[in-house]
Structure formats: C-alpha cells, structure tokens
C-alpha cells in the first residue's frame, strides 16, 4: 500500500506539459467544487510556459502539491509512469486520474468520493471543438461548470473532433457507460492492487490500455449521469500518433496478466 496514510477523501492527479491557460481554467472549477476535502497533485513535466509559477499562486486557494520533473528537450513520453508517481504520493482514499485540460463538473469530487473498491467512476467529457474553444469565455462556465457550453448555438450538431460518431455531443449524452479515463476515479487501494498504469514508449496509449485491463479484471465502470458531473475537454493540438500507439498495445488474456507491478 502507499507509504502515506489516508488524509483526504479524494486526490486529483494529473501530469501537465505547457498547458498553463487550460490548466488554470480547470483549477477555477476545482475551486468551486461542492466537496472541499481533496488535494491536487500536479506533476509539471518540465513546463516552460510559467505553469509552475501559476500553480504556486494557486496554492493560496487550493491544496496543491507540485512535483517538478525534467526531461530531454523536445522529447514526448507517455504519462503513465508520471501518473503512477502521483498515485504513490497521494493521500486520498480515492484518486481522480485526469488531464490538465479537463474542466470538471462542479460535483465531480463529491461523486468521486463515493467510489467503492473494485469499480471505476468514468466521467463523461464534452470535447470542445475549436469553434467553442475560441469563444469559451462567452459562456458562464465559471458559475455553472461545463454544462454552460451547451448554450453554444448548434452545440449538438457540431462535428466531432474525434474520428467516431460516438464522441459527438448528441451521442455522448446517451451513453450510460463511459469507458475512457480522460477523467475518472478509482480507490487508491484498488490502484495498488492492480499495479497502477502501464507505461508505453509512445504518448497517449495509457487510456486505451487501462480500459482493456479493467475489462479483463472485471472492474465495472459506473458513469454518473448528473449534469453536474459532466466535464469539458478543452481543444488542443495532440502529439498522439494513434495508429502507432495502438500497434504496440499489449493484449491481456487473463487476470494475472492484467495485474502489473508498477506501484
């Protein structure tokens, strides 16, 4: 088990690389959470855009632990081992694993705190297209959370930034199970039992791998349907090379294979 005892209901864990403006929007929503018993573990992966200084300023408002890493200039790497580091240093009973560009719904921490062992709470994120991102501050998301983006004209008819129709807003809201870990929660106990996340050589494969591992381990996914649980994934250029990432994914045939020793 972790070397730290439980101190908080929830630990919010993310790795960030030069996402200062997007991360600050997310922190605004964390400040407004209905559940206040949480810590944030922010892992700065050699940021050069003032992210560290911004996080230091936010420590006056939120309980934020900052971990700074260094890496070879210009080198992308998977964030799995970085998130594992955050899990190992966390002191919450439940860990929310997320990304800096995800704006959480205002009840996300409250709902995550109710997570039981051997289950995954998968929050559904809207994918903000460039059209919405350019106008993001026209909507009262600071007051109401990501549900405010529904006010965009034609919100449900905008083309998805993803390749499949299931990620379009009109389809996403009909999903009763959301599998991805773009933002999701699991107890720290369970994370240690399954060995945390799997590291790959290419950026961005962790979410696909973790989804498959959870299926093999028979960890049920529970998707909150409350409006206050909906999140927003801000638009950004992605370094992910999906075909190459998918090509190197491991396959798991047994529960034993799906349990790792990363934590």
Find, among 162, 236, 245, the residue nearest to 204 by Cα: 245
Distances (CA, A) of 132 to 13, 58, 102: 26, 26, 14
In the block, which residue shows the tokens 């999140």?
Answer: 231
Question: Which element (helix H / strand E) includes 67?
Answer: strand 64-69
**pTM to 2 decimal places:** 0.94
- Percent of the chain whose pLDDT exceeds 70: 90
Vertex 169: Cα angle to 168 and 171 (nearest 5): 70
Over the chain, what is the mean pLDDT?
89
Query: How do the domains of the chain map onto residue ranges?
Result: 8-256
When comparing pLDDT for 201 and 141, which is higher? 141
Find, among 145, 6, 8, the residue nearest to 63 by Cα: 8
Asked whether 67 and 90 are in contact (CB, 8 A), the reply is: no
8-256 folds as Spore Coat Polysaccharide Biosynthesis Protein SpsA; Chain A (3.90.550)
pLDDT in tens, 122-156: 999 998 988 899 999 999 999 999 999 999 998 88
The span from the CA of 197 to the CA of 194, in Å, is 8
From the CB of residue 157, how many other CB atoms can be counted at a distance below 10 Å?
Answer: 9
């Amino acid at each position: 088990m972790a070397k730290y005892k439980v101190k908080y209901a929830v630990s919010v864990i993310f790795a960030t690389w030069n996402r200062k403006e997007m991360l600050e929007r997310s922190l605004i929503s964390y400040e407004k959470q209905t559940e206040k018993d949480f810590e944030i573990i922010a892992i700065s992966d050699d940021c050069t855009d003032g992210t560290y200084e911004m996080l230091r300023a936010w420590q006056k408002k939120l309980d934020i632990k900052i971990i700074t890493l260094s890496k070879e200039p210009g080198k992308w790497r998977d964030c799995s081992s970085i998130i594992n580091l955050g899990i190992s240093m966390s002191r919450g009973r439940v860990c929310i694993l997320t990304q800096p560009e995800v704006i959480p719904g205002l009840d996300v921490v409250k709902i995550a705190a109710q997570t039981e062992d051997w289950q995954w709470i998968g929050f559904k994120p809207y994918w903000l297209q460039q059209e919405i991102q350019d106008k993001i501050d026209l909507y009262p998301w600071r007051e109401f959370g990501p549900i405010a983006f529904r006010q965009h004209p034609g919100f449900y008819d905008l083309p998805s930034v993803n390749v499949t129709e299931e990620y379009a807003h009109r389809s996403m809201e009909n999903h009763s199970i959301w599998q991805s870990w773009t933002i999701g929660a699991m107890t720290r106990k369970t994370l240690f039992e399954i060995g945390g996340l799997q590291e790959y050589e290419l950026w961005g494969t962790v979410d696909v791998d973790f989804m498959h591992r959870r299926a093999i381990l028979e960890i049920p996914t529970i998707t909150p349907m409350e409006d206050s649980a909906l999140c927003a994934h801000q638009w950004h250029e992605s370094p992910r090379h999906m075909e190459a990432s998918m090509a190197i994914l491991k396959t798991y045939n047994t529960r034993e294979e799906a349990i790792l020793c990363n934590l």
